[in-house]
A and B are shown apart, each in its own frame.
Chain A
Amino acid sequence: MAIQSTTFTRSLARPNFLSALRALWAVMKREWMIFVRYPSWVISLFIWPIIFPLSYVLTARALSGRDGSGMALFQAATGVHDYIGYIAVGTTIWMWQNVVLWNVGFSLRNEQLRGTLESNWLSPTWRFAYLLGSSAPQLLSMLMFLTVSAIEFTLFLGVRFEGSLWLTLLTILVAVPSVYGLGFAFASLVITLKEANAFVFLVRGIVMIFCGITFPISILPDWMRPIANWLPQTYIIHAIRSASLSTEGLPAILGDLQALALFGIFWLTAGYLVFNWMERRARRTGAIGQY
């Protein structure tokens, strides 16, 4: 009697969900190994959280004067009493966005410069995994950065975090899609533009000017305030300040969280669509292989 056997073969050209997950994990592992291979990140992790806000904190101290008369004006104009914590939180969020623009934003470009992008692109892998995989270790390193920042602000700048840790973590979680969605869109544009340093300067400059990293939005001229309202970083900064520095609780940041949720959906969608557009364009023009 003939034995019949049936062999099911799955074509490599039709990857499934598990294979996409395995590819994602492989990219994450690789990115993490590259990150820890160059120990200079340890110095950055401990030094930048304190020196970057320090410049603004000392400028604010100079503006407040020896007798603190300037500080009274600031408090009357803004309602802010802890200017150090105020500045520290604002500048830290700016640093977060800045690092994402450089790291995630240039992740595909760096692969292109290393000469590995084409071969990766030819594999039957879900291509968005390359961006997602680059972001995950970056997010982990940023969480470390935020933790170290909070500790150093307390130890060296005397900032008192009187708010809620859980609310702060919730805000960070809700902010992640906006911050990284922008990074995804950026990464896709960088592949097309090649030299995009000027665009990083532009985007982070917009955050610096309009999002109130060292001042309340109410200080901005009338024509600038609407622009601030369209930037997710404005809500991130406001929400984290409220959640971490004050005891106002969830009601004070509910509006910010709702706005961030919408921004997150928008930027993740935009990031994915721009990536797909870039990918189609790159295949048509051969840009993937161009230095």
Chain B
Amino acid sequence: MEIKSLSQPTFMAQVRALFAIARKDWKQYWRYPLNAVSTVFQPVIWLAPVYFMGKAFSVNGQALGFAQYSGTSDFMSFIILGAVLGNFINAVFWGMGYALKNDMDSGVMESNWLTPIPRLLILIGHSLTNLIVTTVTSLGMLLVCGLIFGFHPTGDVWSAVLAILPMLIGLYGFGFAFAGVVLLVREANTMVDMSAFLVQIFSGTDFPVTVLPKWLLPIALILPLTYGIDAARGLLLKTDTLLSIEAEVILLIIFMFVMLWFGSWIFYRIERRVRTLGTLGQH
């Protein structure tokens, strides 16, 4: 009889572990349904000042000035789509950033770390639930904001979804690195809050990046998220894009592979560091 050592888990064992982590996170999230309700309705609050401000710039609900920058006068559809994608940015910074820190605070970090599964798998498990939960809440948000403020896509929905998939995967790859950084820094609220906000500003979730002053524009142009959001708008709302859609999708695919590798590498480097420092078990 062949005996498999527990220290050499099989592929199926790793898959089972992955789904166990994802299932745990899923149950934990929906245990507090108010959080989900808050995630769906919070954007309504954040978008309301923009909506009313936009009304003052519009004639019959059409912002002609806005169309000069973006190619569409439907500024609320433009901003709602940015808010939906911005939701994923927030989910990665806060959700993934604190994924391991939360395990640490719950006191389960060390025991999880001692299990014979790749440690990155723990993060992948967290990412899986985070991605699914954020998709569900983002769809809810899109529905609610669409009903209140109006959302009028004129393009192909499935092309837009396919275009942003590599962006989302790359974003979660970045999330691996960020989770490692938060593990190292431990008290990271200010860093996470500010970083998430700045990334959203510079990637154009709230306005076309061409509005930025010329000296700030390069920051927006080196962020791959800028192209993902731009491509989604171009496909769904037929807005003017920075590059051709094909070029932007290629950039996003490159970003996906680079970030998955880079995020994992950073994570492993930091994980080794915190094990050396002995801070893994520290609160």
Contact = CB atoms under 8 A, between A and B. Distances in A.
Interface of A: 38, 40, 43-44, 47-48, 51-52, 54-56, 58-71, 73-74, 77-78, 87, 197-198, 201, 204-205, 208-209, 213-216, 219-220
B221 interface: no
A61 B207 CA distance: 9
Given A62-B66, A214-B52, A215-B49, A40 B190 contact: yes
A214 B70 CA distance: 21
Contacts of A66: 65, 68-69
Given A59-B53, A63-B57, A208 B212 contact: no
Interface residues of B, number: 40
A73 B58 contact: yes
**Nearest 5 A-B pairs (CB), nearest first?**
A70-B65, A65-B65, A205-B45, A63-B57, A40-B190
24 contacts: A43-B194, A51-B201, A55-B197, A55-B206, A55-B207, A56-B53, A59-B79, A62-B70, A63-B57, A63-B63, A64-B57, A65-B66, A68-B65, A70-B58, A87-B53, A197-B38, A198-B34, A205-B42, A209-B49, A214-B53, A215-B53, A215-B55, A219-B52, A220-B52
Interface of B: 34, 38, 42, 45-46, 48-50, 52-59, 63-70, 75, 79, 187, 189-191, 194, 197-198, 200-201, 206-208, 211-212
A65 to B, nearest CB: 3
Given A55-B197, A63-B53, 7 more contacts: A40-B187, A47-B194, A51-B198, A58-B207, A62-B211, A70-B64, A78-B56
Nearest to B212: A58
B46 A208 contact: yes
Contacts of B201: 51, 54-55, 58
B50 A214 contact: yes
Contacts of A220: 52
Contact of A71 (B46, B65, B212): B65
Contact of B56 (A58, A67, A68, A77): A77
A78 B54 CA distance: 12
A113 to B, nearest CB: 12
Nearest to B59: A73
A61 B38 CA distance: 30
B206 A208 contact: no
Nearest to A69: B65
Contacts of B68: 65-67, 69
Nearest to B37: A198
Given A55-B206, A58-B211, A214-B49, A65 B69 contact: yes
Given A59-B207, A201-B38, A219 B55 contact: yes
B75 A63 contact: yes
Contacts of A214: 49-50, 52-53
A62 B69 contact: yes
A48 B208 CA distance: 21
B242 to A, nearest CB: 15
A204 B206 CA distance: 20
A25 B195 CA distance: 36
A44 B191 CA distance: 10
Given A43-B194, A63-B75, A74-B56, A58 B206 contact: yes
Of listed B42, B45, B53, residue having the most chain A CB within 10 A: B53
A76 B120 CA distance: 57
Contacts of B49: 56, 208-209, 213-215
